[in-house]
Structure 1
Protein backbone atom coordinates (compact mmCIF):
# COMPACT_ATOMS: atom_id res chain seq x y z
CA UNK A 1 0.00 0.00 0.00
CA UNK A 2 2.06 2.86 -1.35
CA UNK A 3 0.86 6.45 -1.35
CA UNK A 4 0.84 8.09 -4.75
CA UNK A 5 3.22 11.08 -4.73
CA UNK A 6 0.25 13.37 -5.36
CA UNK A 7 -1.49 11.98 -2.26
CA UNK A 8 1.70 12.37 -0.25
CA UNK A 9 1.98 16.00 -1.32
CA UNK A 10 -1.60 16.71 -0.24
CA UNK A 11 -1.14 15.09 3.17
CA UNK A 12 2.10 16.98 3.73
CA UNK A 13 0.35 20.24 2.86
CA UNK A 14 -2.48 19.43 5.27
CA UNK A 15 -0.06 18.58 8.04
CA UNK A 16 -0.07 15.76 10.58
CA UNK A 17 -3.00 15.85 12.93
CA UNK A 18 -4.83 18.42 10.83
CA UNK A 19 -7.98 16.36 11.09
CA UNK A 20 -7.86 16.03 14.87
CA UNK A 21 -9.47 19.39 15.80
CA UNK A 22 -12.26 19.19 18.37
CA UNK A 23 -15.39 19.66 16.28
CA UNK A 24 -17.48 22.11 18.29
CA UNK A 25 -20.24 24.00 16.52
CA UNK A 26 -18.08 27.12 16.64
CA UNK A 27 -15.25 25.25 14.93
CA UNK A 28 -17.66 23.80 12.36
CA UNK A 29 -18.91 27.25 11.43
CA UNK A 30 -15.35 28.57 11.15
CA UNK A 31 -14.36 25.64 8.92
CA UNK A 32 -17.37 26.27 6.70
CA UNK A 33 -16.50 29.93 6.35
CA UNK A 34 -12.82 29.26 5.63
CA UNK A 35 -13.59 26.62 3.01
CA UNK A 36 -16.13 28.85 1.30
CA UNK A 37 -13.74 31.80 1.23
CA UNK A 38 -10.94 29.67 -0.19
CA UNK A 39 -13.23 28.25 -2.89
CA UNK A 40 -14.50 31.67 -3.95
CA UNK A 41 -10.93 32.86 -4.53
CA UNK A 42 -10.08 30.06 -6.96
CA UNK A 43 -10.46 29.86 -10.75
CA UNK A 44 -13.49 28.28 -12.38
CA UNK A 45 -14.61 27.20 -15.84
CA UNK A 46 -17.26 29.14 -17.72
CA UNK A 47 -20.28 27.14 -18.91
CA UNK A 48 -23.22 27.75 -21.23
CA UNK A 49 -25.54 28.38 -18.27
CA UNK A 50 -25.16 28.37 -14.48
CA UNK A 51 -28.10 29.46 -12.35
CA UNK A 52 -29.27 29.12 -8.76
CA UNK A 53 -32.76 27.65 -8.51
CA UNK A 54 -35.34 26.88 -5.85
CA UNK A 55 -36.25 23.19 -6.06
CA UNK A 56 -39.48 23.17 -4.07
CA UNK A 57 -37.77 24.96 -1.19
CA UNK A 58 -34.32 23.37 -1.56
CA UNK A 59 -31.58 25.73 -2.83
CA UNK A 60 -29.74 24.21 -5.79
CA UNK A 61 -27.42 25.28 -8.59
CA UNK A 62 -27.89 24.09 -12.15
CA UNK A 63 -24.82 23.68 -14.37
CA UNK A 64 -25.63 23.29 -18.07
CA UNK A 65 -22.78 22.76 -20.55
CA UNK A 66 -25.17 22.99 -23.50
CA UNK A 67 -28.90 23.14 -24.19
CA UNK A 68 -30.53 19.72 -24.14
CA UNK A 69 -27.75 18.10 -22.12
CA UNK A 70 -28.61 15.05 -20.00
CA UNK A 71 -28.68 15.97 -16.33
CA UNK A 72 -27.54 14.31 -13.12
CA UNK A 73 -28.19 15.15 -9.49
CA UNK A 74 -24.99 16.10 -7.64
CA UNK A 75 -24.72 15.74 -3.86
CA UNK A 76 -21.60 17.19 -2.23
CA UNK A 77 -19.65 15.67 0.61
CA UNK A 78 -18.32 17.10 3.85
CA UNK A 79 -19.48 14.74 6.56
CA UNK A 80 -23.09 15.99 6.29
CA UNK A 81 -21.66 18.98 8.17
CA UNK A 82 -19.22 20.91 5.95
CA UNK A 83 -19.13 22.28 2.39
CA UNK A 84 -21.80 23.81 0.21
CA UNK A 85 -22.48 24.91 -3.35
CA UNK A 86 -19.47 27.24 -3.39
CA UNK A 87 -16.91 24.72 -2.16
CA UNK A 88 -17.90 22.33 -4.94
CA UNK A 89 -18.65 24.95 -7.60
CA UNK A 90 -15.31 24.74 -9.42
CA UNK A 91 -15.45 20.95 -9.46
CA UNK A 92 -19.07 20.81 -10.67
CA UNK A 93 -18.14 23.14 -13.52
CA UNK A 94 -15.19 20.88 -14.36
CA UNK A 95 -17.38 17.77 -14.21
CA UNK A 96 -20.08 19.26 -16.42
CA UNK A 97 -17.54 20.59 -18.93
CA UNK A 98 -15.57 17.34 -19.19
CA UNK A 99 -18.53 14.94 -19.36
CA UNK A 100 -21.13 17.02 -21.21
CA UNK A 101 -23.63 16.27 -18.43
CA UNK A 102 -25.60 19.01 -16.77
CA UNK A 103 -25.70 18.89 -12.99
CA UNK A 104 -28.17 19.97 -10.36
CA UNK A 105 -26.06 20.47 -7.22
CA UNK A 106 -28.10 20.26 -4.03
CA UNK A 107 -27.49 22.70 -1.16
CA UNK A 108 -29.06 20.40 1.42
CA UNK A 109 -29.45 21.36 5.07
CA UNK A 110 -26.47 20.29 7.15
CA UNK A 111 -25.90 18.67 10.50
CA UNK A 112 -25.54 19.17 13.39
CA UNK A 113 -28.13 21.93 13.12
CA UNK A 114 -30.23 19.78 10.79
CA UNK A 115 -29.58 16.05 11.35
CA UNK A 116 -31.30 13.11 9.64
CA UNK A 117 -33.73 13.12 7.93
CA UNK A 118 -33.36 16.75 6.80
CA UNK A 119 -30.37 16.34 4.44
CA UNK A 120 -31.81 13.21 2.83
CA UNK A 121 -35.26 14.77 2.53
CA UNK A 122 -33.75 17.73 0.70
CA UNK A 123 -31.92 15.48 -1.77
CA UNK A 124 -35.13 13.55 -2.41
CA UNK A 125 -37.09 16.76 -2.95
CA UNK A 126 -34.49 18.15 -5.34
CA UNK A 127 -34.44 14.96 -7.39
CA UNK A 128 -38.23 14.92 -7.73
CA UNK A 129 -38.19 18.59 -8.72
CA UNK A 130 -35.59 17.94 -11.41
CA UNK A 131 -37.68 15.15 -12.93
CA UNK A 132 -40.58 17.60 -13.28
CA UNK A 133 -38.79 20.80 -14.29
CA UNK A 134 -35.98 19.60 -16.57
CA UNK A 135 -37.50 20.86 -19.81
CA UNK A 136 -38.02 24.33 -18.39
CA UNK A 137 -34.27 24.56 -17.88
CA UNK A 138 -33.33 23.02 -21.25
CA UNK A 139 -31.92 19.80 -19.80
CA UNK A 140 -33.03 16.19 -20.13
CA UNK A 141 -33.87 14.16 -17.00
CA UNK A 142 -35.47 11.23 -18.83
CA UNK A 143 -32.48 9.24 -17.54
CA UNK A 144 -31.41 10.89 -14.29
CA UNK A 145 -28.44 9.52 -12.34
CA UNK A 146 -27.17 10.83 -9.03
CA UNK A 147 -23.52 11.44 -8.16
CA UNK A 148 -22.24 11.89 -4.64
CA UNK A 149 -18.87 12.16 -2.94
CA UNK A 150 -18.30 10.98 0.65
CA UNK A 151 -21.34 11.89 2.77
CA UNK A 152 -23.00 12.98 -0.47
CA UNK A 153 -22.53 9.43 -1.71
CA UNK A 154 -24.19 8.23 1.49
CA UNK A 155 -27.18 10.45 0.74
CA UNK A 156 -27.38 9.11 -2.82
CA UNK A 157 -27.19 5.51 -1.61
CA UNK A 158 -29.68 6.27 1.15
CA UNK A 159 -32.10 7.76 -1.36
CA UNK A 160 -31.82 4.63 -3.50
CA UNK A 161 -32.68 2.50 -0.47
CA UNK A 162 -35.58 4.77 0.44
CA UNK A 163 -36.91 4.84 -3.14
CA UNK A 164 -35.16 2.65 -5.72
CA UNK A 165 -36.88 4.56 -8.53
CA UNK A 166 -35.81 8.01 -7.39
CA UNK A 167 -32.77 8.01 -9.69
CA UNK A 168 -31.71 5.86 -12.63
CA UNK A 169 -28.10 5.22 -11.62
CA UNK A 170 -25.91 5.91 -8.59
CA UNK A 171 -22.29 7.04 -8.66
CA UNK A 172 -20.77 6.69 -5.21
CA UNK A 173 -17.34 8.18 -4.52
CA UNK A 174 -15.76 6.76 -1.33
CA UNK A 175 -19.15 6.36 0.38
CA UNK A 176 -19.76 5.94 4.12
CA UNK A 177 -22.52 3.34 4.10
CA UNK A 178 -22.36 1.58 7.47
CA UNK A 179 -22.23 3.45 10.77
CA UNK A 180 -21.46 0.23 12.68
CA UNK A 181 -18.58 -0.85 10.45
CA UNK A 182 -15.17 -0.83 12.09
CA UNK A 183 -12.99 1.90 10.63
CA UNK A 184 -9.45 0.61 9.92
CA UNK A 185 -7.28 2.92 12.02
CA UNK A 186 -4.26 2.19 9.84
CA UNK A 187 -5.99 3.78 6.86
CA UNK A 188 -6.59 7.08 8.61
CA UNK A 189 -4.58 10.15 7.60
CA UNK A 190 -4.93 13.92 7.45
CA UNK A 191 -7.51 13.61 4.66
CA UNK A 192 -9.86 11.73 7.02
CA UNK A 193 -9.28 10.17 10.44
CA UNK A 194 -11.54 7.60 12.09
CA UNK A 195 -12.44 9.80 15.12
CA UNK A 196 -13.57 12.62 12.84
CA UNK A 197 -15.68 10.22 10.79
CA UNK A 198 -17.30 8.98 14.00
CA UNK A 199 -18.08 12.57 14.95
CA UNK A 200 -19.65 13.21 11.54
CA UNK A 201 -21.84 10.12 11.86
CA UNK A 202 -23.04 11.18 15.31
CA UNK A 203 -23.79 14.68 14.08
CA UNK A 204 -25.90 13.35 11.21
CA UNK A 205 -27.64 10.32 12.72
CA UNK A 206 -27.11 9.98 16.46
CA UNK A 207 -28.03 6.87 18.41
CA UNK A 208 -30.36 4.32 16.88
CA UNK A 209 -30.99 6.51 13.83
CA UNK A 210 -27.70 5.18 12.48
CA UNK A 211 -29.24 1.73 12.05
CA UNK A 212 -31.96 2.87 9.67
CA UNK A 213 -31.34 1.43 6.19
CA UNK A 214 -31.51 4.84 4.48
CA UNK A 215 -28.80 6.04 6.88
CA UNK A 216 -26.61 2.92 6.72
CA UNK A 217 -27.49 1.53 3.26
CA UNK A 218 -25.14 -1.42 3.71
CA UNK A 219 -27.53 -2.66 6.40
CA UNK A 220 -30.56 -2.76 4.10
CA UNK A 221 -31.96 -6.28 4.09
CA UNK A 222 -32.80 -6.26 0.38
CA UNK A 223 -30.69 -4.43 -2.19
CA UNK A 224 -32.28 -6.06 -5.23
CA UNK A 225 -33.97 -3.60 -7.53
CA UNK A 226 -31.38 -0.90 -6.85
CA UNK A 227 -30.35 1.26 -9.83
CA UNK A 228 -27.01 0.52 -11.50
CA UNK A 229 -24.06 1.59 -9.38
CA UNK A 230 -20.50 2.73 -9.86
CA UNK A 231 -18.57 2.64 -6.58
CA UNK A 232 -15.13 4.23 -6.30
CA UNK A 233 -12.99 3.80 -3.20
CA UNK A 234 -9.58 5.20 -2.29
CA UNK A 235 -6.82 2.85 -1.18
CA UNK A 236 -5.75 5.01 1.78
CA UNK A 237 -9.17 5.85 3.21
CA UNK A 238 -10.90 4.65 6.39
CA UNK A 239 -14.10 4.26 4.32
CA UNK A 240 -12.51 1.95 1.76
CA UNK A 241 -13.59 -1.42 3.10
CA UNK A 242 -17.23 -0.59 3.77
CA UNK A 243 -17.60 0.93 0.31
CA UNK A 244 -16.21 -2.18 -1.32
CA UNK A 245 -18.36 -4.46 0.84
CA UNK A 246 -21.43 -2.47 -0.18
CA UNK A 247 -20.51 -2.88 -3.84
CA UNK A 248 -20.13 -6.62 -3.29
CA UNK A 249 -23.55 -6.85 -1.65
CA UNK A 250 -25.11 -4.93 -4.54
CA UNK A 251 -23.54 -7.39 -6.97
CA UNK A 252 -24.75 -10.33 -4.90
CA UNK A 253 -28.26 -8.88 -5.08
CA UNK A 254 -28.07 -8.84 -8.87
CA UNK A 255 -27.53 -5.11 -9.30
CA UNK A 256 -25.48 -3.90 -12.26
CA UNK A 257 -22.45 -2.65 -10.33
CA UNK A 258 -18.91 -1.66 -11.20
CA UNK A 259 -16.39 -1.00 -8.44
CA UNK A 260 -12.90 0.48 -8.63
CA UNK A 261 -10.26 1.06 -5.99
CA UNK A 262 -8.12 4.10 -6.79
CA UNK A 263 -4.65 2.92 -5.87
CA UNK A 264 -2.46 5.31 -3.93
CA UNK A 265 -5.33 7.73 -3.39
CA UNK A 266 -6.73 9.34 -0.25
CA UNK A 267 -10.16 10.60 0.71
CA UNK A 268 -11.31 13.66 -1.29
CA UNK A 269 -9.14 13.01 -4.37
CA UNK A 270 -12.17 12.97 -6.70
CA UNK A 271 -13.04 16.65 -6.39
CA UNK A 272 -9.47 17.92 -6.81
CA UNK A 273 -8.66 17.53 -10.52
CA UNK A 274 -5.94 20.16 -10.36
CA UNK A 275 -4.02 17.99 -7.88
CA UNK A 276 -4.83 14.42 -8.91
CA UNK A 277 -4.47 12.68 -12.25
CA UNK A 278 -6.79 10.02 -10.81
CA UNK A 279 -9.53 12.62 -10.39
CA UNK A 280 -9.42 13.57 -14.05
CA UNK A 281 -9.37 9.92 -15.11
CA UNK A 282 -12.29 9.07 -12.86
CA UNK A 283 -14.31 11.98 -14.25
CA UNK A 284 -13.74 10.59 -17.74
CA UNK A 285 -14.89 7.13 -16.63
CA UNK A 286 -18.00 8.52 -14.92
CA UNK A 287 -19.00 10.45 -18.03
CA UNK A 288 -18.50 7.47 -20.33
CA UNK A 289 -20.32 5.10 -18.00
CA UNK A 290 -23.33 7.40 -17.63
CA UNK A 291 -23.44 7.86 -21.41
CA UNK A 292 -23.48 4.07 -21.83
CA UNK A 293 -26.24 3.56 -19.26
CA UNK A 294 -28.31 6.31 -20.83
CA UNK A 295 -27.91 4.85 -24.34
CA UNK A 296 -29.13 1.47 -23.15
CA UNK A 297 -32.24 3.03 -21.63
CA UNK A 298 -33.25 5.06 -24.69
Structure 2
Protein backbone atom coordinates (compact mmCIF):
# COMPACT_ATOMS: atom_id res chain seq x y z
CA UNK A 1 0.00 0.00 0.00
CA UNK A 2 0.96 3.62 -0.37
CA UNK A 3 1.48 5.99 2.50
CA UNK A 4 -1.64 7.49 4.04
CA UNK A 5 -1.91 11.26 3.43
CA UNK A 6 -1.41 11.85 7.16
CA UNK A 7 1.84 9.90 6.93
CA UNK A 8 3.01 11.92 3.93
CA UNK A 9 2.42 15.16 5.82
CA UNK A 10 4.23 13.85 8.91
CA UNK A 11 7.26 12.61 6.98
CA UNK A 12 7.46 15.83 5.00
CA UNK A 13 7.55 17.82 8.22
CA UNK A 14 10.39 15.63 9.55
CA UNK A 15 12.71 16.51 6.68
CA UNK A 16 15.62 14.40 5.50
CA UNK A 17 16.82 11.72 7.93
CA UNK A 18 20.34 11.90 9.33
CA UNK A 19 22.41 9.45 11.33
CA UNK A 20 23.00 10.90 14.79
CA UNK A 21 26.46 11.78 16.01
CA UNK A 22 27.30 10.93 19.61
CA UNK A 23 28.51 14.49 20.22
CA UNK A 24 25.14 15.84 19.09
CA UNK A 25 23.04 13.61 21.37
CA UNK A 26 22.75 16.08 24.30
CA UNK A 27 21.59 18.86 21.98
CA UNK A 28 19.07 16.61 20.22
CA UNK A 29 17.68 15.46 23.56
CA UNK A 30 17.41 19.03 24.83
CA UNK A 31 15.64 20.18 21.67
CA UNK A 32 13.06 17.36 21.86
CA UNK A 33 12.48 17.98 25.55
CA UNK A 34 12.02 21.71 25.04
CA UNK A 35 9.52 21.12 22.25
CA UNK A 36 7.56 18.72 24.46
CA UNK A 37 7.52 21.10 27.41
CA UNK A 38 6.24 23.87 25.16
CA UNK A 39 3.03 21.91 24.53
CA UNK A 40 0.23 23.48 26.55
CA UNK A 41 -2.69 21.23 25.59
CA UNK A 42 -2.37 18.31 28.00
CA UNK A 43 -5.13 16.04 29.24
CA UNK A 44 -5.80 16.36 32.96
CA UNK A 45 -5.98 13.16 35.01
CA UNK A 46 -6.86 12.28 38.58
CA UNK A 47 -3.13 12.39 39.40
CA UNK A 48 0.21 12.71 37.64
CA UNK A 49 3.00 11.99 40.12
CA UNK A 50 6.78 12.05 39.74
CA UNK A 51 8.12 9.31 41.99
CA UNK A 52 11.28 7.43 42.88
CA UNK A 53 11.12 3.70 42.19
CA UNK A 54 14.06 2.44 44.24
CA UNK A 55 16.39 4.92 42.56
CA UNK A 56 14.72 4.97 39.13
CA UNK A 57 12.73 8.12 38.25
CA UNK A 58 9.18 7.25 37.19
CA UNK A 59 5.96 9.12 36.50
CA UNK A 60 2.58 7.70 37.50
CA UNK A 61 -0.43 8.63 35.38
CA UNK A 62 -3.60 7.74 37.29
CA UNK A 63 -6.90 8.36 35.48
CA UNK A 64 -8.99 7.30 38.49
CA UNK A 65 -8.55 5.88 41.97
CA UNK A 66 -8.11 2.12 41.81
CA UNK A 67 -7.34 2.03 38.09
CA UNK A 68 -5.49 -1.04 36.80
CA UNK A 69 -1.81 -0.28 36.26
CA UNK A 70 0.56 -0.93 33.37
CA UNK A 71 4.28 -0.29 32.97
CA UNK A 72 5.16 2.10 30.11
CA UNK A 73 8.62 2.16 28.51
CA UNK A 74 9.27 4.89 25.96
CA UNK A 75 11.16 4.55 22.70
CA UNK A 76 13.93 6.65 21.18
CA UNK A 77 16.58 4.18 20.13
CA UNK A 78 17.69 3.69 23.77
CA UNK A 79 19.38 7.09 23.28
CA UNK A 80 16.69 9.75 22.88
CA UNK A 81 13.39 10.79 24.50
CA UNK A 82 12.32 10.82 28.12
CA UNK A 83 9.28 11.28 30.34
CA UNK A 84 8.56 14.72 28.90
CA UNK A 85 8.63 13.72 25.25
CA UNK A 86 6.04 11.03 25.97
CA UNK A 87 4.05 12.94 28.59
CA UNK A 88 1.22 14.13 26.34
CA UNK A 89 0.84 10.68 24.83
CA UNK A 90 0.86 8.88 28.18
CA UNK A 91 -1.90 11.20 29.37
CA UNK A 92 -3.88 10.38 26.24
CA UNK A 93 -3.30 6.64 26.65
CA UNK A 94 -4.33 6.66 30.32
CA UNK A 95 -7.39 8.79 29.63
CA UNK A 96 -8.66 6.78 26.67
CA UNK A 97 -8.05 3.33 28.13
CA UNK A 98 -8.71 3.94 31.84
CA UNK A 99 -5.38 2.32 32.71
CA UNK A 100 -2.87 3.91 35.03
CA UNK A 101 0.65 4.02 33.60
CA UNK A 102 3.98 3.93 35.37
CA UNK A 103 6.35 5.51 32.82
CA UNK A 104 10.03 4.70 33.35
CA UNK A 105 12.79 7.31 32.96
CA UNK A 106 15.48 4.70 32.40
CA UNK A 107 19.15 5.52 31.89
CA UNK A 108 20.05 5.94 28.23
CA UNK A 109 22.85 4.93 25.92
CA UNK A 110 25.53 5.69 24.92
CA UNK A 111 26.39 6.86 28.45
CA UNK A 112 24.59 3.84 29.90
CA UNK A 113 24.49 0.92 27.44
CA UNK A 114 22.99 -2.52 28.04
CA UNK A 115 22.21 -3.72 30.65
CA UNK A 116 21.63 -0.40 32.46
CA UNK A 117 18.35 0.59 30.71
CA UNK A 118 16.93 -2.90 31.18
CA UNK A 119 18.05 -2.96 34.82
CA UNK A 120 16.04 0.23 35.41
CA UNK A 121 12.95 -1.18 33.73
CA UNK A 122 13.20 -4.30 35.88
CA UNK A 123 13.55 -2.19 39.04
CA UNK A 124 10.48 -0.13 38.10
CA UNK A 125 8.42 -3.26 37.37
CA UNK A 126 9.25 -4.76 40.75
CA UNK A 127 8.55 -1.45 42.48
CA UNK A 128 5.13 -1.18 40.83
CA UNK A 129 4.10 -4.58 42.13
CA UNK A 130 5.17 -3.65 45.64
CA UNK A 131 3.95 -0.05 45.89
CA UNK A 132 0.82 0.09 43.73
CA UNK A 133 -1.56 0.06 46.68
CA UNK A 134 0.24 3.03 48.28
CA UNK A 135 -0.52 5.08 45.16
CA UNK A 136 -4.09 3.83 44.80
CA UNK A 137 -3.70 1.75 41.65
CA UNK A 138 -4.28 -1.96 41.05
CA UNK A 139 -1.23 -4.05 40.13
CA UNK A 140 -2.89 -7.47 40.35
CA UNK A 141 -2.44 -7.73 36.56
CA UNK A 142 0.43 -5.72 35.04
CA UNK A 143 1.00 -5.36 31.29
CA UNK A 144 4.21 -3.91 29.96
CA UNK A 145 3.74 -1.44 27.09
CA UNK A 146 6.59 -0.17 24.95
CA UNK A 147 7.19 1.53 21.64
CA UNK A 148 10.22 0.80 19.43
CA UNK A 149 13.30 0.46 21.65
CA UNK A 150 10.96 0.67 24.63
CA UNK A 151 9.19 -2.39 23.25
CA UNK A 152 12.57 -4.08 23.03
CA UNK A 153 13.13 -3.37 26.73
CA UNK A 154 9.70 -4.76 27.63
CA UNK A 155 10.39 -7.93 25.63
CA UNK A 156 13.88 -8.12 27.12
CA UNK A 157 12.34 -7.97 30.58
CA UNK A 158 10.20 -11.04 29.81
CA UNK A 159 13.40 -12.85 28.81
CA UNK A 160 15.07 -11.88 32.09
CA UNK A 161 12.08 -12.72 34.29
CA UNK A 162 8.81 -13.69 32.61
CA UNK A 163 6.95 -13.48 35.92
CA UNK A 164 7.31 -9.70 36.18
CA UNK A 165 4.67 -8.95 33.53
CA UNK A 166 1.30 -10.56 32.92
CA UNK A 167 1.13 -9.30 29.33
CA UNK A 168 3.27 -7.36 26.90
CA UNK A 169 2.09 -4.81 24.35
CA UNK A 170 4.77 -4.03 21.78
CA UNK A 171 4.50 -1.24 19.23
CA UNK A 172 6.86 -1.68 16.26
CA UNK A 173 9.40 -3.52 18.44
CA UNK A 174 13.10 -3.99 17.79
CA UNK A 175 13.57 -7.71 18.44
CA UNK A 176 16.80 -8.84 16.75
CA UNK A 177 20.20 -7.15 17.10
CA UNK A 178 21.54 -9.22 14.19
CA UNK A 179 18.46 -8.95 11.98
CA UNK A 180 18.90 -7.66 8.44
CA UNK A 181 16.94 -4.46 7.90
CA UNK A 182 15.46 -3.74 4.47
CA UNK A 183 16.46 -0.25 3.25
CA UNK A 184 13.45 -0.37 0.94
CA UNK A 185 11.38 0.27 4.09
CA UNK A 186 13.34 3.40 5.01
CA UNK A 187 11.33 6.53 5.74
CA UNK A 188 12.21 9.88 7.26
CA UNK A 189 10.93 8.49 10.57
CA UNK A 190 13.56 5.72 10.71
CA UNK A 191 16.12 4.29 8.32
CA UNK A 192 18.10 1.07 8.42
CA UNK A 193 21.30 3.09 8.82
CA UNK A 194 19.89 5.01 11.77
CA UNK A 195 18.64 1.83 13.43
CA UNK A 196 22.05 0.19 13.06
CA UNK A 197 23.59 3.21 14.80
CA UNK A 198 21.09 2.99 17.66
CA UNK A 199 21.81 -0.74 18.11
CA UNK A 200 25.54 0.00 18.36
CA UNK A 201 24.98 2.59 21.09
CA UNK A 202 22.85 0.24 23.18
CA UNK A 203 24.37 -3.19 22.77
CA UNK A 204 27.32 -3.26 20.41
CA UNK A 205 28.26 -6.90 19.84
CA UNK A 206 25.90 -8.33 22.48
CA UNK A 207 24.42 -11.75 21.69
CA UNK A 208 22.17 -11.83 24.76
CA UNK A 209 18.54 -12.81 24.16
CA UNK A 210 17.67 -9.93 26.51
CA UNK A 211 18.88 -7.71 23.66
CA UNK A 212 17.45 -9.90 20.86
CA UNK A 213 14.26 -11.47 22.27
CA UNK A 214 13.54 -13.09 18.90
CA UNK A 215 16.53 -15.35 19.57
CA UNK A 216 15.39 -16.41 23.06
CA UNK A 217 15.54 -20.21 23.45
CA UNK A 218 12.47 -20.37 25.72
CA UNK A 219 9.81 -18.19 24.10
CA UNK A 220 7.11 -20.45 25.53
CA UNK A 221 7.52 -18.74 28.91
CA UNK A 222 6.62 -15.32 27.43
CA UNK A 223 3.36 -13.82 28.73
CA UNK A 224 0.43 -13.14 26.34
CA UNK A 225 1.51 -10.60 23.78
CA UNK A 226 0.17 -7.90 21.48
CA UNK A 227 2.43 -6.85 18.58
CA UNK A 228 1.59 -3.93 16.32
CA UNK A 229 3.91 -3.22 13.40
CA UNK A 230 3.87 -0.32 10.94
CA UNK A 231 3.72 -1.09 7.24
CA UNK A 232 6.37 1.47 6.29
CA UNK A 233 9.00 0.69 8.92
CA UNK A 234 12.41 -1.01 8.81
CA UNK A 235 11.51 -2.82 12.06
CA UNK A 236 8.32 -4.28 10.58
CA UNK A 237 9.65 -7.67 9.54
CA UNK A 238 11.48 -8.50 12.77
CA UNK A 239 8.46 -7.47 14.82
CA UNK A 240 6.27 -9.79 12.80
CA UNK A 241 8.87 -12.56 12.99
CA UNK A 242 8.78 -12.24 16.79
CA UNK A 243 4.99 -12.47 16.84
CA UNK A 244 5.14 -15.55 14.62
CA UNK A 245 7.80 -17.20 16.78
CA UNK A 246 5.75 -16.57 19.92
CA UNK A 247 2.69 -18.09 18.32
CA UNK A 248 4.65 -21.16 17.25
CA UNK A 249 5.85 -21.48 20.86
CA UNK A 250 2.24 -21.56 22.07
CA UNK A 251 2.07 -18.02 23.46
CA UNK A 252 -1.30 -16.27 23.01
CA UNK A 253 -0.58 -13.52 20.46
CA UNK A 254 -2.62 -10.75 18.87
CA UNK A 255 -0.69 -9.15 16.03
CA UNK A 256 -1.47 -6.82 13.19
CA UNK A 257 0.21 -4.55 10.70
CA UNK A 258 -0.94 -0.93 10.72
CA UNK A 259 -1.27 -0.03 7.06
CA UNK A 260 -0.15 3.18 5.44
CA UNK A 261 1.84 4.47 8.42
CA UNK A 262 5.52 4.76 9.38
CA UNK A 263 7.50 4.20 12.56
CA UNK A 264 6.39 6.44 15.47
CA UNK A 265 2.71 6.73 14.47
CA UNK A 266 1.46 5.22 17.79
CA UNK A 267 2.47 8.11 20.02
CA UNK A 268 0.99 10.85 17.81
CA UNK A 269 -2.79 10.76 18.24
CA UNK A 270 -2.98 14.39 17.17
CA UNK A 271 -1.56 13.49 13.74
CA UNK A 272 -2.76 9.95 13.06
CA UNK A 273 -6.31 8.64 13.14
CA UNK A 274 -4.78 5.18 13.32
CA UNK A 275 -2.97 6.09 16.53
CA UNK A 276 -6.25 6.86 18.25
CA UNK A 277 -7.84 3.67 16.94
CA UNK A 278 -4.84 1.59 18.02
CA UNK A 279 -4.96 3.04 21.53
CA UNK A 280 -8.58 1.95 21.88
CA UNK A 281 -7.80 -1.52 20.51
CA UNK A 282 -4.88 -1.95 22.90
CA UNK A 283 -7.03 -0.84 25.82
CA UNK A 284 -9.74 -3.35 24.92
CA UNK A 285 -7.21 -6.18 24.63
CA UNK A 286 -5.68 -5.34 28.00
CA UNK A 287 -9.14 -5.24 29.58
CA UNK A 288 -10.05 -8.61 28.08
CA UNK A 289 -6.81 -10.26 29.17
CA UNK A 290 -7.11 -8.79 32.67
CA UNK A 291 -10.67 -10.07 33.01
CA UNK A 292 -9.61 -13.55 31.93
CA UNK A 293 -6.66 -13.47 34.33
CA UNK A 294 -8.66 -12.36 37.35
TM normalised by structure 2 equals 0.99
Matching residue of 2:293: 297
Structure 2 counterpart SS, 1:224: helix
Work out which of the residue numbers 259, 262, 266 in structure 2 matches 1:266.
Answer: 262
State the alpha-carbon separation in 2 of the partners of residues 133 and 181 from structure 1. Answer: 38
Work out which of the residue numbers 215, 220, 235 in structure 2 matches 1:219.
Answer: 215
Q: CA RMSD in A?
A: 0.7
Work out which of the residue numbers 38, 42, 54 in structure 2 matches 1:41.
Answer: 38
Work out which of the residue numbers 125, 128, 131 in structure 2 matches 1:127.
Answer: 125
State the alpha-carbon separation in 2 of the partners of residues 110 and 73 from structure 1. Answer: 18
Q: What's the CA shift for 1:101? A: 0.1
State the alpha-carbon separation in 1 of the partners of residues 118 and 160 from structure 2. Answer: 10
Matching residue of 1:145: 143
Q: What's the CA shift for 1:24? A: 2.2
Matching residue of 1:239: 235
Are 1:50 and 2:64 an aligned pair?
no
Structure 2 counterpart SS, 1:270: helix
Matching residue of 1:202: 200
Are 1:288 and 2:284 an aligned pair?
yes
Matching residue of 2:226: 230
> Following superposition of structure 1 onto structure 2, how do residues 112-123 of structure 1 map, counting pairs within 5 Å?
112-123=110-121
State the alpha-carbon separation in 1 of the partners of residues 2 and 177 from structure 2. Answer: 27
TM normalised by structure 1 equals 0.97
Matching residue of 1:66: 64
Structure 2 counterpart SS, 1:235: strand
Matching residue of 1:177: 175
State the alpha-carbon separation in 2 of the partners of residues 8 and 221 from structure 1. Answer: 40
Q: 1:40-85 CA distances to partner (integer Å, 9 max, x unpaired)?
A: 1112111100010000000000000000000000000000000000
Work out which of the residue numbers 1, 25, 32 in structure 2 matches 1:28.
Answer: 25
Q: 1:236-260 CA distances to partner (integer Å, 9 max, x unpaired)?
A: 0000000000000000000000101
Matching residue of 2:190: 192
| Long gaps (5+) in structure 1 | none
Matching residue of 1:93: 91
Alignment: residue pair count: 293
Q: What's the CA shift for 1:25? A: 2.5
Matching residue of 2:108: 110
Structure 2 counterpart SS, 1:109: coil
